[in-house]
Amino acid sequence: MQNLTSNLNVLKWTDEIIALTKPSKVMWIDGSEEQLNMLREEACGTGELIKLNHEKYPGCYYHRSQKDDVARMEDKTYICTSNKDDAGPTNNWKNPEDAYKLGREIFDGSMYGRTMYIIPYSMGPMGSPFSKIGFEITDSIYVVVSMNIMTRIGKKVLDVLGDSNDFVRGLHGKCNLDIDKRYIFHFPEDNTIWSCNSAYGGNVLLGKKCFALRIASYQGLKEGWMAEHMLILGIENPKGEVKYIAAAFPSACGKTNLAMLIPPELYRKKGYKVWTVGDDIAWLRIKEDGRLWAINPEAGFFGVAPGTNNKSNPNALMATKKNAIFTNVAYNLDDDTVWWERLDNNPPENALDWQGNPWNGKKSKEKGAHPNSRFTAPAKNCPCISKEWESPEGVPISAIIFGGRRARTAPLVYQSRSWQHGVFVGSTLASETTAAASGKVGVVRRDPMAMLPFIGYNAGDYFGHWLEMGRKASNPPEIFHVNWFRTNDSGEFIWPGFGDNFRVLEWIIDRCENKSGAEEAVIGYIPRLEDINTQGLDITEDTLKDLLTIDSSSWMEDVKNIEEFYAKIGSRIPAELYNELNKLKSNLSKIKVESIA
């Protein structure tokens, strides 16, 4: 073993992990293509990876995880703080001493007979003042090559770190892939993550949700910045001016599609463009101009494969065409390519399903790909990637959008009255279950700022941090809420969605620049009918009115649900948010149905 660094903090920690896990060999990952190619070949030899057709999918590989290891394990994910209240009621808590003890028992000798890989990585552009450095120690080549896609890895990271002790210590081990001993322990007070007995990306690529959200959100609280589960996109107008938006959506609400949105032809002809800065995570800091600036800390996309196609998201599909890794999709034996449900209408007949069983896509009633099957693809492959996506200074955010799936309650779009009101809107963000998700339809699930599983500390303190950031920023973004999923009495969506969501983004940007009007309503500011461009849309004035109607009875029901949700979070919810809740209740009590006349 040859150390790549003389940093005594790093060497002391890695020596402790080597002594604990007892690997037969240790390899420092230098980030060179030569080393990575050697590891890919080795993984193909053991079956950990399968090389795809490099004429059709150059540089691409296939990976399969166990049947019981195919998704994030929320019930086995812990925030380990010395004070239980600091983790809060929305997180699973474990005493750090107990978590380390259990972890050591599981990791003891777990890498015997295996190679340990030490991966230095940077979340964020190399050397950016926004960026943070981490290490992932692992016994999985899949993790090494995936972290090479999702982050910046290797010797260059160590050069930036120097002798500093400011790095996140991540340990992952496949161990025995024992589901009963599968855990992720986060130690925010120690900048440490331990993940054991999983080989699924969401549990083992520790730079993603574990570091970039759970640990980073705690770092942001202590250091005065924010780590958020948000896409970042740029909207370029015909003059070449670009305005940036950050947006948070719970799952199944079209987040990735919005991040890579293609404007309607009407707008494209005029010269409007949308640029992707990031599809999942944003780190935001206040700069000298009083605005919030954001970076995407990741270098790749970790996307859900089923449903991704040339119609739903051509930009995401194009990003997967080279140097990508596909996990738990169907494998076409005829030409060594991949397929998943709704990719196209031509499933392979001679294939293996996601579990490795023979599968005929024309005849089988079983799905070829797991519903949560994934692609890991370099962000630079995306045709609409912004030229600013790796800017060390980030991009200035004009608007923050929260969005949920609501059948009748939330209108198509509304604007908060203030930053404080906007934090209230984000803290109460909700989606309703669909038939596909569960047996019950329309059950409201609260997911504040789309961060419920990822807040690394007490959710009440998290809301307080949002309020504090608004007080510190002299020119904070405007905050909006959108709902693409409004339905009629027959349960049919009445807004076309997808690219036409650009029409709503146009109003949002215009509002930020005081170029568009609005009506003041009980919940905030709502567009007038003439403010939403419906040219070329098959949508009536009555339908648009319906999209912007506020039904007070639905909202009063929502208020009860919010009160129950706040009660669960407890006493750390800031008084300012209860003030906003009381204001909403008071406004609603004065009306029956309010709509844009």
In the chain, the percentage of residues whose pLDDT exceeds 90 is 95
Query: Is residue 213 domain-shared with residue 238, that is, in the same domain?
Result: no
Q: What is the pLDDT of residues 455-499, one digit of tens each?
A: 999 999 999 999 999 999 999 999 999 999 999 989 899 999 999
Does the residue 45 lie in any domain?
A: no
- Give the pTM: 0.97
Q: Would you state the pLDDT for residue 597?
A: 42
Query: Is residue 162 domain-shared with residue 181, that is, in the same domain?
Result: yes
Last residue of a domain, one of 381, 407, 429: 381
Q: What is the pLDDT of residues 2-20, one digit of tens each?
A: 789 999 999 999 999 999 9
Nearest to 282 by CA among 442, 75, 450: 450
Instruction: Quote the strand ranges of 202-264, DSSP E.
Output: 226-228, 231-236, 242-248
Query: Is residue 270 domain-shared with residue 327, that is, in the same domain?
Result: no
Query: Is residue 143 domain-shared with residue 203, that is, in the same domain?
Result: yes
Does the residue 66 lie in any domain?
A: no
| β-bridge pairing 430-432 and 444-446 | antiparallel
Query: Is residue 465 domain-shared with residue 581, that is, in the same domain?
Result: yes
Number of domains in the chain: 3
Q: Output the CA torsion sign for 370, 195, 143, 281.
A: positive
Q: What is the pLDDT of residues 230-285, one digit of tens each?
A: 999 999 999 999 999 999 999 888 899 999 999 999 999 999 999 999 999 999 99
Does the residue 175 lie in any domain?
A: yes
Cα–Cα distance between 26 and 34 in angstroms, integer?
17
Query: Is residue 292 domain-shared with residue 368, that is, in the same domain?
Result: no
Domain range for residue 111? 8-30+72-223
Residues annotated in a binding site for substrate? 72, 200-202, 251, 372-374
Average of per-residue pLDDT values in the chain: 96
Q: What is the pLDDT of residues 287-307, one digit of tens each?
A: 999 999 999 999 999 999 999
Does the residue 162 lie in any domain?
A: yes
Neighbours of 433 (CB within 10 A): 16
Q: Would you state the pLDDT for residue 440?
A: 65
Query: Is residue 128 domain-shared with residue 193, that is, in the same domain?
Result: yes
Q: Would you state the pLDDT for residue 251?
A: 86
Q: What is the CATH classification number for the domain harbouring 94?
A: 3.40.449.10
Q: How confident is the model at residue 108 (pLDDT cuts 50, 70, 90)?
A: very high
Last residue of a domain, one of 191, 223, 255: 223
Residues annotated in a binding site for Mn(2+)? 209, 229, 280
pLDDT of 595 above 50? no
Does the residue 375 lie in any domain?
A: yes
Q: Would you state the pLDDT for residue 438?
A: 39
Q: Would you state the pLDDT for residue 592?
A: 53
196 is catalytic: no
Q: Of 210, 253, 382, 384, which is the active-site residue? A: 253
Q: Would you state the pLDDT for residue 52?
A: 98
Query: Is residue 283 domain-shared with residue 325, that is, in the same domain?
Result: no
Does the residue 461 lie in any domain?
A: yes
Q: Would you state the pLDDT for residue 1?
A: 62
Query: Is residue 183 domain-shared with residue 277, that is, in the same domain?
Result: no
Last residue of a domain, one of 201, 223, 245: 223
Does the residue 167 lie in any domain?
A: yes
DSSP collapsed to 3 states, 78-121: EECCCCHHHHCCCCEECCHHHHHHHHHHHHCCCCCCCEEEEEEE
Does the residue 108 lie in any domain?
A: yes
Query: Is residue 433 domain-shared with residue 329, that is, in the same domain?
Result: no
Query: Is residue 398 domain-shared with residue 347, that is, in the same domain?
Result: no
Query: Is residue 552 domain-shared with residue 454, that is, in the same domain?
Result: yes
Residues annotated in a binding site? 72, 200-202, 209, 229, 251-257, 280, 372-374, 405, 498-501
Q: Would you state the pLDDT for residue 594?
A: 46
Q: What is the CATH classification number for the domain harbouring 247?
A: 3.90.228.20
371 burial type by CB count under 10 A (0-12 exposed, 13-18 middle, 19+ buried): middle
pLDDT of 433 above 80? no
Q: What is the CATH classification number for the domain harbouring 309?
A: 2.170.8.10
